[in-house]
Amino acid sequence: MIRRVKVAIIGAGTAGLTALKTVSRFTDDFVVIDPGPDGTTSARSGCMPSKALITAAHEYHKRHFLPELGISHAHNLHIESREVMKRIRQLRERFSQGPVRAIEKLEERFIRGRACFESAEQIRVGDILIQAEKVIVAVGSSPELSAEWASFSGVMTTDQFFDLEKLPASLAVIGLGSAGLEIAQALSRLGVQVVAFEQEDWLGGIYDPDIQYWAREYFSSEYMICSGQSVRVDTEAGGFSVGSGKERYRVEKVLVTGGRRTALSAMNFAVTGLPMTASGVPIFDPETLQVGDSGIFIAGDAGQKEMKMHHAADEGRIAGFNAAGPDGVKRYQRRVPLSITFTDPQIARFGLRYDQLNLSETAIGSADFGFQNRALIMGEHRGLVRLYADRVSRKLTGGEMLVPRAEHFAFELATCIHNGMTVDEMVWLPFYHPTMEEGLRSALYNLGEELGGVLPEHFLPEI
């Protein structure tokens, strides 16, 4: 059976469904192809269920601060891990309803199955051969797991972890990127004995060395962290022996959070004859998402990029406009880079990373939240903010932080970069007292001093 369409969208995750919304503005001659399970990665096994886990852990952890507030008997609180996991699954179902309904509305324009290229214009899904003028590949990615580890019952990725009926007594977390750091801390606070491993010496996508130092100090005070060596997993009666070097730890289960692999690798893309990297990922224009001069566009983490949900949605829109819009292929401006890890304190990065800076042309300002008064009142007085600015233009260019409420601060500061604001202009913004944002103002004052010739009292603009 041959089916001819103007646009074929492969994948019904965040990027694919956003592409669908855009494409449907211009044509109804399209199909969406997806093998399941339905719902986005974010809703099923990514940022949404992990935040539900973190919320339970954060609220339970507050019991240590309650006596200081004069609230007694906090030691009587305890965790019902079955209820924790039950709520996560209930929320996961709710978060997945929107994507599921979007697929159901497509009716005959939705094809269930795995897509495989037969040429740059032809895709096979089972017995159906689809001839498409344009193809949007938004197949997403899946957690990486070696064949050996995958054969062990009890070694999981986030795809399986949130299906657990109850929390294990002990767990090894392998891979301390954002997901690993979040889950390791949350489980430790919920009473799980956690030992965490990271092959690299640096944690959580943190690039600023001062933030990296304090992150290791904070998190290693809550659970064991082993880094800088490869990890070995062996089965034992009732669990696993996990370790790097001579140190071995016995745990009930193992959670691997060490990276993701594009689902494109199973789609026979080489048959298209289009350019690919040595690892088999199509080479495409990052501003148009087009592969060469073909009708194929790569969106979301199918392109083997570090991808946040809002970035995936943006790429779905770009691919949709370029595949079906009336103006042909165009280049689109991207948002200010923004990344948040929901640990406690939270980790956030915006704008330029530390490793992208020309240090000779950059001023760096900082503020220690250990001395921030509102944070002290709330029992959250810990962490560090580091802000970067261009020495010539005096504009904010980026920053990293390890502080409470970083999810809000990073958005506010990314907005300042988007608006091209100088440090002088930012300090004139209304900082209310007492708020956590005053800690940002302290960092801006310090940054102004590093820029030279500016003191806090000189920031008032002339009328």
DSSP secondary structure, 79-96, as one string: --HHHHHHHHHHHHHHHH
Contact at 8 Å (CB) between 294 and 172?
no
- Report the C-alpha gap between 128 and 36 in whole angstroms: 17
86 — phi, psi (to 5°)?
-65, -45
Residues 254 and 267 in one domain: no
Residues 387 and 416 in one domain: yes
Residues 27 and 121 in one domain: yes
What is the CATH number for 231? 3.50.50.60
Residues 6+ apart with CB under 8 A from 438: 372, 373, 374, 431
Residues 240 and 155 in one domain: yes
Is residue 226 a part of any domain in this protein? yes
Residues 265 and 255 in one domain: no
> How many CB atoms are closer than 10 A to CB 121?
18
69 — phi, psi (to 5°)?
-90, 0
Contact at 8 Å (CB) between 144 and 262?
no
* Residue 206 amino acid letter: I
Of 259, 278, 294, the domain-final residue? 259
What is the CATH number for 403? 3.30.390.30
Is residue 50 a part of any domain in this protein? no
Of 259, 280, 310, the domain-final residue? 259
Contact at 8 Å (CB) between 290 and 120?
no
User: The tokens 């992990």 sit on which residue?
Assistant: 50
Distance of alpha carbon 164 from its chain centroid, rounded?
Answer: 22
Is residue 167 a part of any domain in this protein? yes
Residues 246 and 134 in one domain: no
Cα angle 283, 287, 288 (rounded to 5 degrees) comes to 75
Tokens representing residue 7 in the block? 């646009």
- Report the C-alpha gap between 65 and 76 in whole angstroms: 14
Residue ranges of alpha helices (H) inside 246-326 are 309-324
Is residue 26 a part of any domain in this protein? yes
Contact at 8 Å (CB) between 459 and 424?
yes
Contact at 8 Å (CB) between 177 and 257?
yes
- Report the C-alpha gap between 354 and 209 in whole angstroms: 8
pLDDT tens profile 99-151: 889 999 999 999 999 999 999 999 999 999 999 999 999 998 888 888 888 88
In a 10 Å sphere around its CB, with 0-12 CB exposed, 13-18 middle and 19+ buried, how is residue 9 labelled? buried
Residues 236 and 297 in one domain: no
Is residue 66 a part of any domain in this protein? no
Closest among 346, 365, 451 to 405, alpha carbons compared = 346
Residues 346 and 415 in one domain: yes
Q: Which residues pair with 377 in a beta bridge?
A: none
Per-residue pLDDT of the chain (463 residues; tens, 9 = 90+): 899 999 999 999 999 999 999 999 999 999 999 998 888 888 787 889 999 999 999 999 999 999 999 999 998 999 999 999 999 999 999 998 988 899 999 999 999 999 999 999 999 999 999 999 999 999 988 888 888 888 899 999 999 999 999 999 999 999 999 999 999 999 999 999 999 999 988 898 899 999 999 999 999 999 999 998 889 999 998 899 999 877 899 999 999 998 888 888 889 999 999 999 888 889 999 999 999 999 999 999 877 666 678 888 999 999 999 999 999 999 998 999 999 999 999 999 999 999 999 999 999 999 999 999 999 999 999 999 999 999 999 999 999 999 999 999 999 999 999 999 999 899 889 999 999 999 999 999 999 999 986 655 555 666 6
pLDDT of residue 141: 85
- Residue 244 three-state SS: strand
Is residue 353 a part of any domain in this protein? yes
pLDDT of residue 180: 96
Is residue 185 a part of any domain in this protein? yes
Residues 448 and 342 in one domain: yes
* Residue 372 amino acid letter: Q
The tally of domains found in the chain comes to: 3
Q: Can you give the length of the chain in residues?
A: 463
Contact at 8 Å (CB) between 338 and 406?
no
Residues 288 and 153 in one domain: no
Element (H, E) at 9: strand 2-10
Residues 6+ apart with CB under 8 A from 40: 13, 14, 17, 46, 96, 99, 309
Give the residue numbers spanning the domain of 219: 147-259
Is residue 347 a part of any domain in this protein? yes
DSSP string, 33-48: EE-S--S-HHHHTSHH
Q: Report the chain's mean pLDDT, rounded to a whole number.
A: 92
Residues 19 and 132 in one domain: yes
Closest among 392, 393, 394, 385 to 423, alpha carbons compared = 394
Alpha-carbon radius of gyration of the chain: 24
User: The tokens 């007492």 sit on which residue?
Assistant: 434
Terminal alpha carbon distance of the chain: 74
Residues 245 and 152 in one domain: yes
Name the percent of the chain in helix, strand, coil, to the closest 5.
40, 25, 35
